Chain A
Amino acid sequence: MTTEKILRWGLFAVLLLFALFYLMPLFVMLTTSLKSLEEIRTGGLLSLPRQLTFQPWIEAWSSACAGTQCEGLRPFFWNSILMAVPAVLISTMVGAINGYVFAQWRFPGANLFFAAILFGCFIPFQVVLMPMARMLGLMGLAGTIPGLIFVHVIYGIGFTTLFFRNYYVTIPQELMRAAKVDGAGFFRIFFSIFLPLSLPIITVSVIWQFTQIWNDFLFGVSFSGAGSQPVTVALNNIVNSTTGVKAYNVDMAAAIIAALPTLFVYVVAGKYFIRGLTAGSVKG
């Protein structure tokens, strides 16, 4: 019995150690962002701030320099919102209607097309970067927020379609048949039967897409211009700016600000976030 007890304590100790490992960077970021530069130089990595200062947060938000622009993260945070909200909504809507067709309106070749969409989820985006840059140029969308929205919608459709298709497959075909007998058409069935049943999967899709798009860096850095950079690109520019003294506290405050929206989503709706993660990997 005692060995059993020791074993359980050992188990718990290991789990706790790992919890500390996962929490450490967040802790370090937070404490560093609340210290003065002077204190950072003299204090330890894990020490709590002796004198709390919110100055780094204010600087990170409104005056830190990203490249030549010294307006903090604020304008870029706004860019990310302007980009993510429409991109999330559009890709979710398209995914819903696509998923509905794939799940309930089978036609010859549908499986092949579905497979083709799925492969699209897995391509390394490096393979489309250059032609997309040219295409955005041709469309007059290069370096704009609508351009970024367009890109995120295109490459988000695969995942949203997958989510909705897998969800709608579980809805019994009898429901469709009954509705068809009653004379309901394609859109009627979708809007009055399927859509009202879809809240859980809409939540998953919105959260997944929001996290993906908010956290994206590759498309942001490749296709945005000076006025349209998302917050991840600006954060990287602030951290890697070479002018002046390195303000680690401002860097850390900026990193937390850039992470806040997705952290918030995770804390509030972690269950749906995890469902999105697993649906993106193991299809069920």
Chain B
Amino acid sequence: MEWLERNVPKLVLAPSFVAILVFVYGFIGWTAWVSLTKSKLMPRYEIDGISQYTRLFASPRWDVAMNNLFIFGALFILLSMVIGLVLAIFLDQKIRSEGVLRTIYLYPMALSLIVTGTAWKWILNPGLGIQEMVRGWGFTGFTFDWLIRPEMAIYTVVIAAIWQASGFVMALFLAGLRSVDTEIIRAAQVDGIPTHRIYSAIIIPTMAPIFLSAFIVLAHLAIKAFDLVIALTNGGPGYATDLPATYMYAMAFSRGDLGQAAASAMIMMMVIFAIVVPYLYSELRPRRDH
């Protein structure tokens, strides 16, 4: 009885512990194992070495997916941060309707990426969307057909993704701006330092941890991007907008190539871990003190 009482906290955690152990770490192990076998339609469990990975890196489709991830990730992260920072600094200038604007900027984040993709697919559709609208204004030569051009379609994914997430970055940065010590800012103002100098020399440097957080979240969103591509381009034209996530899904569920699916999932995981592990490590370490 007393043993029970002493161990209640551990017993309460036990189901979660088992669940995480099996469904997170066990499953990662399973996928890692399968990625080292010759599994096709059905999983096979004889280790075969790294042949799935060599096949993966030799696959032109994977090559496109990784290239797209690089283009999409870089532009999405960079532009979302720039837009988010600009909006946050502008909103920070005691704008009268700040609350309304903030609400408008952030609402896309509450929507499903499938909804977002559906909306943008309609707007970017060359026959009826923006292109047709601008032509209707009299600019008959105007073309904006990225959605159906293989080499440009990935940029439409960038546009929709920025629309979705930049408001969130704005909210993060705005919270950061507001947490900067007002005493220091007032002192600088008294000294006659111009506003843009106060931002570039005092405020923004103290926000470094928030930049890091925003980067981590955006990078994480980029690597996991799946829904948006499915709804907006369905990976096409051809497989021009494939990302690792859609590649993995196609291999696992429509191509029946479990080995390739497992290997591509493992690569995705390694990319995320390379970004997240150092971050979590640094975030968790000082915590132990209190």
Contact = CB atoms under 8 A, between A and B. Distances in A.
B107 A22 contact: yes
A281 interface: yes
B31 A113 contact: no
A78 interface: no
A175 interface: no
Contacts of B249: 126, 129, 218, 222
B13 A98 contact: yes
B51 interface: no
A193 interface: no
A11 B93 contact: yes
A126 B171 contact: no
A251 B118 contact: yes
A22 B112 contact: no
A259 interface: yes
Interface residues of B, number: 98
A45 B133 contact: yes
Given A239-B118, A262-B110, A263-B110, A126 B9 contact: no
B73 interface: no
A203 B106 CA distance: 19
B217 interface: yes
B112 A258 contact: yes
Contacts of A263: 107, 110-111
A119 B280 CA distance: 8
A19 interface: yes
Interface string A238-281: 01100000001001101110110011011100100110011011
Given A44-B136, A185-B8, A258-B115, 6 more contacts: A15-B91, A23-B104, A25-B120, A186-B5, A235-B114, A263-B110
Interface of B: 5, 8-10, 12-13, 15-17, 19-20, 23-28, 30-31, 34, 43, 83, 86-87, 90-91, 93, 95, 101, 103-116, 118-123, 128-130, 132-133, 136, 163, 167-168, 171-172, 175, 209-210, 213-214, 216-217, 220, 223-224, 226-227, 230-231, 234, 244-245, 248-249, 252-253, 258, 261-262, 264-266, 268-269, 272-273, 276-277, 280, 283-284, 287-288
12 contacts: A22-B105, A22-B167, A32-B122, A98-B16, A116-B25, A119-B277, A123-B28, A126-B264, A126-B265, A157-B16, A258-B112, A259-B115
Interface of A: 8, 11-12, 14-15, 18-19, 21-26, 28-29, 32, 40-41, 44-46, 94, 97-98, 101, 105, 107, 111, 113, 115-120, 122-132, 134-135, 154-155, 157-158, 161, 185-187, 211, 214-218, 221-222, 232, 235-236, 239-240, 248, 251-252, 254-256, 258-259, 262-263, 265-267, 270, 273-274, 277-278, 280-283
